[in-house]
């Protein structure tokens, strides 16, 4: 941390130090989190935060854009190269505004949108009822099958033919398996819908060749930049040329004002990192680690939604372990294993106290942990859950010591 923060605001500096210590001494298993590089951190904390630049490169409403235009163009060009897209917009503040811009680009209020229901693994902004996208639009939601945890495409097709959505989302936040973009394309074509792939969770896997790309199948790709892609907190929209103008004017001036230029610069750095050959190794290791962790959890008697994983994410149904997700997550946090409680498909419990636990491997893979460490994590999780059920805080403290010792041998990048 910079000496300037320490001398100007010691109170805040202390909090930053404590958070660095927390991240260093624990293992981040939340699948949407990651540890960015020192270069991404530095770009995020740069003088670019001082600049307003509403508009797009060459078409701004403020002067002094000589360098900002070059930075944004660099980020856009790198996004196009990495994902093989015609057009990229790097200005959305995060995933939810990015998705809202898509509605603004293609729908009128009251039009029909179809997405995966939130408790089934979708996202709030894919039309869930408490979100603006479920309130201002007519939303129909597809589900996964109770037995398999997978989408039945014939049922999605029937729903689409009945409801005739103008826009269909595929992708989500708790999907442990490969997404069949071709199947969604064929349904979208049958009903004449715009197809959007929300790849926020899997963007880094796609960039690194560890998950198929949606680019040749969909009209628009939406992604955050801070999950498997390992950039700053931000988002991008990517599209075919024919949709470029609509997307750009929906983001600005439709929804947002000035872009966060420091974030744009950090996105450019992250995209540069993702274009390096080593990022392919990283993406494949994320998946190898998730599979190793899933295998250990299965061996420890955990019930995994869909029976395992193809990607970075594992969704555990704790019903058979006789502990709710929230109690398990809180106990594991005490043990230095940071996860999040999550609904599972057809969850009989409430969203704020659901049956599931969601974990993932992007952050621990960044730190350099491999399959042997995944097996250790799986066993610690099992012991942690048993300790939680027995209200054995001493055992949770012992696990925390063991986790901390391991974490100490895998320093955070950028720390």
Q: Is 95 in the site for ligand DSN (CB under 6 A)?
A: yes
Is residue 52 part of the annotated active site? The answer reads yes
Write the interaction track for ligand DSN spanning residues 141-160; mark x where CB under 6 A is met and - where it is not.
--------------------
Q: What is the phi/psi pair of residue 182, to 5°?
A: -65, -40
d(CA 82, CA 60): 26
Q: Is 228 in the site for ligand DSN (CB under 6 A)?
A: no
Cβ atoms within 10 Å of 327's Cβ, excluding its own: 15
Instruction: Determine which residue in the list 23, 32, 44, 213 makes contact with ligand DSN, applying CB under 6 A.
Output: 32
d(CA 96, CA 123): 9
Is residue 8 part of the annotated active site? The answer reads no
Question: CB of 313 within 8 A of CB of 291?
Answer: no
Question: At closest approach, how far in Å is the CB of 287 from ligand DSN?
Answer: 17
Is residue 155 part of the annotated active site? The answer reads no
Is residue 233 part of the annotated active site? The answer reads yes
Question: At closest approach, how far in Å is the CB of 113 from ligand DSN?
Answer: 17
In a 10 Å sphere around its CB, with 0-12 CB exposed, 13-18 middle and 19+ buried, how is residue 11 labelled? exposed
Question: At closest approach, how far in Å is the CB of 103 from ligand DSN?
Answer: 16
Q: Rank residues 173 and 383 by Cβ distance to ligand DSN and give the closer one.
A: 173
Question: At closest approach, how far in Å is the CB of 7 from ligand DSN?
Answer: 35
Q: Is 91 in the site for ligand DSN (CB under 6 A)?
A: no
Site for ligand DSN in 164-193 (CB under 6 A): 173
Q: Rank residues 123 and 262 by Cβ distance to ligand DSN and give the closer one.
A: 123
Q: Which two tokens stand for residue 259?
A: 């872009």
Question: At closest approach, how far in Å is the CB of 361 from ligand DSN?
Answer: 14
Question: At closest approach, how far in Å is the CB of 5 from ligand DSN?
Answer: 27
55 torsion bin: left (phi>0), alpha (psi -120 to 50), beta (else): left
Question: At closest approach, how far in Å is the CB of 96 from ligand DSN?
Answer: 7
* CA-angle at 236, arms to 235 and 241, nearest 5°: 165
Q: Which two tokens stand for residue 297?
A: 């959890």
Please, which residues have CB within 8 angstroms of residue 286's CB and are 6 or more apart in sequence? 204, 205, 210, 228, 311, 312, 361, 362, 365
Q: Of residues 51, 52, 93, 370, which has the active-site annotation?
A: 52
Please, which residues have CB within 8 angstroms of residue 162's CB and are 6 or more apart in sequence? none
- Best CA proximity match to 388, nearest among 322, 290, 340: 322
Q: Rank residues 95 and 354 by Cβ distance to ligand DSN and give the closer one.
A: 95
Q: Of residues 6, 33, 51, 54, which has the active-site annotation?
A: 54
CA 230 to chain centre: 10
d(CA 162, CA 174): 26
Q: Of residues 233, 240, 330, 389, which has the active-site annotation?
A: 233
Q: Please count the residues of this chain forming the interface with ligand DSN, following the rule CB under 6 A.
A: 4
Is residue 280 part of the annotated active site? The answer reads no
Closest residue to bound ligand DSN by CB = 32
Q: Of residues 112, 224, 225, 343, which has the active-site annotation?
A: 224
d(CA 393, CA 405): 18
Is residue 154 part of the annotated active site? The answer reads no
d(CA 302, CA 332): 15
Q: Rank residues 97 and 414 by Cβ distance to ligand DSN and give the closer one.
A: 97
Residues with active-site annotation: 52, 54, 198, 224, 227, 233
| Residues making contact with ligand DSN (CB under 6 A) | 32, 95, 123, 173
């Amino acid at each position: 941390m910079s000496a300037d923060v320490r001398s100007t605001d010691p109170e805040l500096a202390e909090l930053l130090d404590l958070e660095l210590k927390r991240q260093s001494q624990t293992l981040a298993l939340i699948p949407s989190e990651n540890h960015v590089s020192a270069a991404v951190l530095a770009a995020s904390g740069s003088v670019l935060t001082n600049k307003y630049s509403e508009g797009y490169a060459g078409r701004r409403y403020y002067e002094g854009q000589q360098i900002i235009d070059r930075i944004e163009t660099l980020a856009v060009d790198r996004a196009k190269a990495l994902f093989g897209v015609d057009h990229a917009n790097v200005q959305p503040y995060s995933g939810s505004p990015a998705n809202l811009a898509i509605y603004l680009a293609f729908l009128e209020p009251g039009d029909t949108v179809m997405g995966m229901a939130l408790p089934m693994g979708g996202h709030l902004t894919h039309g869930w009822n408490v979100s603006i996208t479920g309130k201002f639009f007519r939303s129909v939601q597809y589900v996964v099958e109770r037995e398999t945890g997978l989408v039945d495409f014939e049922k999605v097709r029937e729903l689409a033919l009945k409801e005739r959505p103008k826009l269909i989302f595929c992708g989500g936040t708790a999907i442990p398996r490969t997404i069949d973009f071709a199947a969604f394309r064929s349904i979208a074509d049958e009903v004449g819908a715009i197809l959007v792939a929300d790849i926020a969770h899997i963007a880094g896997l796609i960039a690194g060749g560890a998950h198929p790309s949606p680019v040749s199948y969909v009209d628009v790709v939406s992604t955050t930049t801070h999950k498997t892609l390992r950039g700053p907190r931000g988002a991008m929209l990517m599209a075919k040329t024919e949709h470029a103008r609509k997307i750009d004017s929906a983001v600005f001036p439709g929804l947002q004002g000035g872009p966060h230029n420091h974030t744009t610069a950090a996105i450019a750095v992250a995209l540069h990192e993702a274009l390096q050959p080593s990022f392919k190794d990283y993406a494949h290791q994320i998946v190898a680690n998730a599979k190793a962790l899933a295998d250990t959890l299965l061996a420890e008697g955990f019930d995994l939604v869909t029976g395992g994983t193809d990607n970075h994410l594992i969704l555990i149904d704790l019903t058979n372990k006789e502990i709710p997700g929230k109690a398990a997550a809180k106990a594991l946090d005490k043990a230095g294993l940071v996860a999040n409680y999550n609904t599972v498909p057809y969850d009989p419990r409430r969203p704020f106290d659901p049956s599931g636990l969601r974990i993932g491997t992007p952050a621990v893979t960044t730190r350099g942990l491999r399959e042997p460490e995944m097996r250790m994590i799986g066993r610690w999780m099992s012991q942690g859950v048993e300790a939680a059920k027995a209200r054995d805080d001493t055992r949770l403290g012992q696990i925390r010591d063991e986790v901390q010792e391991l974490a100490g041998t895998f320093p955070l990048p950028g720390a």
